[in-house]
Amino acid sequence: MKDFAKEFYASKVWKETRAYIFKRDCGLCVRCGAPGAIVHHKKYLTAKNISDASISLNEDNLELLCRECHAIEHEGELPTGTGLQFDKEGNLIERIHHERHTPT
């Protein structure tokens, strides 16, 4: 997490917004349907726009992603490499088939 964002992500309003997005998206990644883990800002937060609630807290700019889809969004690839993934306890295991799906 970037230093400029630490206070924002610790705030009550962010925690409430995050909980709302989890509920809105039924706890599932909107891209692949796996269990969601990270509320992602479609328009990335910067030191200049983090105080703009129309960007940082706007539900239209937020989506629930699993860790894998979030890594692909930011890094362009999975963090574990082909054929591997992390389980719930953080252990590296053989990858479970993970397809992207487009919501209809």
Mean pLDDT taken over the chain:
85
Higher pLDDT, 28 or 72: 28
pLDDT of residue 68: 86
Domains in the chain: boundaries: 3-77
Higher pLDDT, 20 or 72: 20
pLDDT of residue 104: 47
pLDDT of residue 62: 98
- 63: how many CB neighbours lie within 10 A of its CB? 21
**CATH classification of 3-77, choosing from 3.40.50, 3.40.1800, 3.50.4, 3.10.450?**
3.40.1800
Residue-wise burial string across 77-92, b where 16 or more C-beta atoms lie within 10 A, e elsewhere: ebeeeeeebeeeeeee
Rounded to whole angstroms, the Cα distance separating 27 from 73 reads 19
Q: Closest Cα partner for 41 from 24, 59, 27?
A: 59
Least confident of 15-24, 73-82, 95-104: 95-104
